[in-house]
Amino acid sequence: MATLKNRPRFALSHAVAQSGNPIVLSAADGARIELFVLAQDIIRVLVLPTGELRGPRSWSIAPGVEDVPLEGRDRRDVSGFAPVAFSATGDADKLVVETAQVRLTVALDGGFCAWDIARDGGWQHVMNDRKTQAYNFGWWDERVYHYIERQRGEMYVGLGERAGALDRANQSYEMRNIDAMGYSARTTDPLYKHIPFYVTWQPQTSTGFGLFYDTLADCRFDMGRELDNYHGHYRHFVAEHGDLDYYFIASPHTPLNAVRRFTWLTGRPALMPKWGLGYSGSTMSYTDAPDAQRRMGEFIERCREHDVLCDSFHLSSGYTSIGPKRYVFNWNHEKFPDIEGFVQRYLREGVKLCANIKPCLLQDHPAFDEAAKSGLLIESRDGEPAWVQFWDEVGAYLDFTNRATIDWWKARVKDSLLRYGIASTWNDNNEFEIWTPDAIAQGFGEPFPAHQAKVLQTQLMMRASRDAQREHAPNTRPFLVSRSGGVGMHRYVQTWSGDNYTSWETLRYNLKMGLGLAMSGVSNSGHDIGGFSGPAPASELLLRWVGFGIFLPRFSIHSWNDDGTVNEPWMYPEATSQIAGLIKLRYRLIPYLYELLWQSHRAYEPVLRPMFAEFPNDPRCLADGDDMMLGASLLVAPVVEPGQRERDVYLPSGARWTSYWTGEVFEGGEIVTLPAPFEQPVMLLREGSVMPLNIAGQHFARPADERAFIALPFAGIGTAQGSCVEDDGETQAWRDGAQGRWNLTIASDANTLRISVEREGQMPFEQRDVQLSVPASDTRTATCTTGDIIGDDIENGWRRLTLRLAR
C-alpha cells in the first residue's frame, strides 16, 4: 500500500524508554507521541503533531480522589497512579510496550497503534489504528482526528446520554452541549452531556476495552456510519480543538470493568444524602403562578391528603422572576411574601428544597452592571460582554475560570438561598452555548477562546455550587443537581436527561439513555417522570412512567405541559392510589438503592446495567431490549407500550429467578410471560442474591425504618450473600467511622439453609428481630447461626422467617 510521503517516522530514545512515564517517540519534523503506562490495564496515548501541547489542562483525571485542583491538572502529571511494572522493547520498525494485561505495538512508520489484551494465558488482539491516515499530523486542518479499524460484530456502548439504541454501532454523534427541550429520545442529537468515553465489546471473544478521549472541545464520534472505499471499515473521533489524548482501558470477560476503571480514573462519585433517593416534587407551574407560595403550600397539603411520601421539592426558576423574565438569585417577594416562613414550613414537613439557579445574567439583571464592571462575565475581545441568547432575552454568561466569579457565585448561593434553609442547588440551563471565537474566558490567568471549552464552565459552576454548600454546612453532605455536564460531573451532582418530550417513545428510549449514562461513569441519574415538554401524559402513560422511574437513583415528577396542566401524583383521581403505592414501593427499595450508591462511591460500580453487561456470555442478552439490571441482583422489566397488562421477559441463563410479587421461581435461559398490573412493576430477583428492604410502615412526614431482606438461595450447594450500609444518611460523620453494615449469608445444600446475620460498625438504630423472605417453594430446614428463628410463615408466595439475633 502506498503511503503519504509526509507521514512522520518516529524514533525511540533508549534512555527515555527506560525512564518510565512518558515513553517518548519523536519524528524529525517535531511530531511527538508520548505513551503513559498508568496501570496494568490502562495506557494513555498523547499525539502532538508539533511536539507541543495545544489543549488546556485536564479537569477530568482524578484517579481515586474526589476532585482536581481548581485550575486543572497538568497533562503530564502522573500523580495518583502507582508505579507499574512494564517492558518497552523495540527495533527499527516498532515499539512494543507490555504490562501484565495490555500489549501496545506502535509502528514507528506513522505511529500506528495495535492493541492486545491478556486473555486465557495468551494475547487477544482487539484494536488497530486505521493504517491509512489514522492521525492528523497537520495534513488537513487544525482539528484532532483518530481513525480506528472497525471489526464486524463489535458493540459500542457509552458516550453519555445519547438518543436511540443502546448499541451505538453504525451511528454518529456530536458532543456539543445544547438546550434540547422537547427532544426526541430516539433521534435528537446533540443533547446535554459531553462524555467522550465508550466501551467496545466484541461478543465473539467476550473481550472489550474502553476508550476515553480527554478533551473539553466540541467533538464528534462516527461509529461506522461513515464509509469510504479508500480506507476499509473504520470508526473515528474528531475534536475541534486541542490534542489527541486518549486512554485505553482493558476490559476482558466483562464490559463492566472498563466502566469501573473509567469512573475511578475520573474521580470518586459523590456520596449524597439518603433523602436524595426519595420522591422529589417539581413543576414550573407552581413558581410561575402569581400566588406561588400558596401553590407550593397546596403541594404539601395534597401529599398529606393522599399519603404521598416526599423528601424534596425542586423549586423552579419562577421564584426569581421580574415580570415575565428570570433573574438568578432574585426573589420575587410578591410571589413569595415570606421566604423564610415558606422554607421553614417545608422543612417542618420533612421536605427539603432544591432551588433552580442559572449561570447567565440577562442584560437588565439587577447585578449585571456590577458583574460586568468587576470582570465576572465572559467578554468579547473588545472588552464588552460576550452576548448570547438566553430564554427570552440576551445576556452574558458568568466566567467560572475566574476566581473572583467563583467567590461572587458562592456568596450569592449562600446569601440568597442557603441562609433561608434551602438545602441544595439545581444547576440548570448550564450548557454555556457560546459559539463565537471572539468570546474569551480568563482561564485562571491564561485566557483562551471560551467556545473551545464550554463544558469546563459547566463543571466549574457545579463545583462552585457544591463548595458554597460545603462552606455553609461543612458537616452536611452536599446535594446538587445539574442538567448539563461532562466527565467528572459524578464527583459533584445528581443529573437527569433534561427536558424530555411526553410520549411512549420517550419512555422506552429514556431507559436506554440512562443505561448509556451509567455505562459512562454517571450512575446517579434519572428522567423527568411523565415527560417535561409537550402534551400532558394520559393516565396510563403516567402510571407506567412512575412504575419505571421508581427504580432510578433520581425520582422526580416534573413538567411544563403545553396545556398548562401539571404532572402530579394526584393528576388523575382514578390513578392516585396506585401512584402513591408505587412511591411507597420506591421507599421500600431505598436500602438497596442506597447500598448501590455506596458501592458506586466505594468501588465505582454502575447502579444501572444493560443486560448484556451483567451477562456478557449469554448471546440473547445482546439484543437491544427494554429490560435492565438494577445492581447485580434485580432485573426490572418496565412496560413501555400502551395497552399491555403482561410482560414477556427473557431470563438470562446460568441462574434461577424469582418474582418479587409472587415468589414463583423460574429457570434461566427462557422467556416467561408475567402479569404487569400498574401497581406491580415486573421485578425478578437473581439466584444467590440477598436484597435489603425497608418494611416499616411509611406515611407522609412520618419516616420510619426497619430492615428486612428477601433472597433466592441456591437450589443446591452454594452461598447467597447480601449486605447494606447503614448511617445517618445526611452528615459527614461516616468519614470518621460512624457507619455500620448488615451482612447476611445463606449457605445451602440439598436439605438445609444455614443463615447468618451479622452487624458491624456503628448502626444508626437498634434492631434485634429481622425478617428474611425466601420463596415459599423452598421448604428446606432453616437454621440461624447468629440467633434463633422465632417465626416461619407463608404469605403471598413467600416463606417469611423471623430471626431474633443474639445481642
pLDDT tens digits for 702-727?
Answer: 778 999 999 999 999 999 999 999 99
DSSP assignment of 46-61 equals EEETTSS--S--BSS-
Q: At 251, which helix (H) or strand (E)? A: strand 244-252
> How far apart (Å, rounded) are the C-alpha atoms in residues 99 and 37?
8
> How far apart (Å, rounded) are the C-alpha atoms in residues 276 and 466?
15
> How far apart (Å, rounded) are the C-alpha atoms in residues 505 and 361?
36
80 backbone φψ class: left, alpha, beta (φ>0; ψ -120 to 50)? left
In a domain, 17, yes or no: yes
CA of 30: how far to CAs of 9, 12, 144, 306, 453, in Å? Answer: 10, 13, 17, 71, 26
User: Which runs of consecutive H residues, i.e. helices, occur in 311-358?
Assistant: 339-348
Nine-digit cell string for 760: 458491624
Residue 785's Cα: distance from chain center in Å?
40
In a domain, 607, yes or no: no
In a domain, 601, yes or no: no
Nine-digit cell string for 214: 480527554
CB count in 10 Å sphere of residue 93: 10
> How far apart (Å, rounded) are the C-alpha atoms in residues 569 and 290?
23
CB 563 within 8 Å of CB 530: no
Radius of gyration in angstroms for the set of CA atoms belonging to the chain, rounded to a whole number = 27
State residue 2's pLDDT score.
43
State residue 76's pLDDT score.
95
Per-position b or e across 187-198, b if 16+ CB within 10 A of its CB: ebbbbbbbbbbb
40 backbone φψ class: left, alpha, beta (φ>0; ψ -120 to 50)? alpha
Nine-digit cell string for 86: 512494564
State residue 5's pLDDT score.
55
Choose among 639, 594, 635: nearest CA to 615: 635
Nine-digit cell string for 688: 444467590
Q: At 235, which helix (H) or strand (E)? A: strand 234-239
Low-confidence ranges of the chain (pLDDT < 70): 1-6, 13-19
> How far apart (Å, rounded) are the C-alpha atoms in residues 472 and 476?
9
Per-residue pLDDT reduced to its tens digit, 311-352:
999 999 999 999 999 999 999 999 999 999 999 999 999 999
Residue type, 175: M
In a domain, 186, yes or no: no
In a domain, 445, yes or no: no
The domain total for the chain is 2
Nine-digit cell string for 524: 446517579
Domain enclosing residue 16, as ranges:
10-52+78-129
Dihedral (CA of 271, 273, 274, 275) sign: negative
Nine-digit cell string for 474: 461543612
Q: Which residues contact 326 (CB under 8 A, 6 or more apart)?
A: 317, 318, 320, 358, 362, 391
Full-model pTM: 0.97
In a domain, 365, yes or no: no
> How far apart (Å, rounded) are the C-alpha atoms in residues 582 and 549?
10
Q: What is the CATH number of the domain that holds 28?
A: 2.60.40.1760
3-state DSSP assignment of residue 243? coil
3-state DSSP assignment of residue 262? helix
Peptide bond into 22 cis (omega under 30): yes
Which phi and psi (to 5°) does residue 23 adopt? -85, 125
Nine-digit cell string for 633: 441482583
DSSP state of 70: T
Q: At 325, which helix (H) or strand (E)? A: strand 325-326
Kindly compute the dihedral angle of the four CA atoms of residues 655, 658, 664, 668, in this order, to the nearest 10 degrees.
Answer: -30
Please report, in angstroms and rounded to a whole number, the separation of the first and last CA atoms in the chain. Answer: 77
> How far apart (Å, rounded) are the C-alpha atoms in residues 579 and 571?
10
CB 183 within 8 Å of CB 174: no
State residue 138's pLDDT score.
83
3-state DSSP assignment of residue 690? strand
702 backbone φψ class: left, alpha, beta (φ>0; ψ -120 to 50)? beta
Report the alpha-carbon angle 558-572-355, nearest 5: 20
Which phi and psi (to 5°) does residue 674 adopt? -120, 145
CB 496 within 8 Å of CB 553: no
In a domain, 112, yes or no: yes
CA of 647: how far to CAs of 473, 488, 626, 671, 684, in Å? Answer: 47, 37, 11, 10, 12
Q: What is the CATH number of the domain that holds 755?
A: 2.60.40.1180
In a domain, 359, yes or no: no
Choose among 681, 403, 372, 658: nearest CA to 545: 681
CB 598 within 8 Å of CB 591: no
Choose among 350, 263, 258, 343: nearest CA to 303: 350
Choose among 444, 495, 20: nearest CA to 269: 495
Which phi and psi (to 5°) does residue 777 adopt? -70, -10
State residue 623's pLDDT score.
94
Nine-digit cell string for 782: 432453616
Kindly compute the dihedral angle of the four CA atoms of residues 707, 630, 61, 26, in this order, to the nearest 10 degrees.
Answer: 150
State residue 246's pLDDT score.
98
Tell me the HSE value of 315 on the side-chain side, using a 13 A CA sphere. Answer: 31
CB count in 10 Å sphere of residue 382: 8
Nine-digit cell string for 115: 492493541
> How far apart (Å, rounded) are the C-alpha atoms in residues 568 and 546?
11
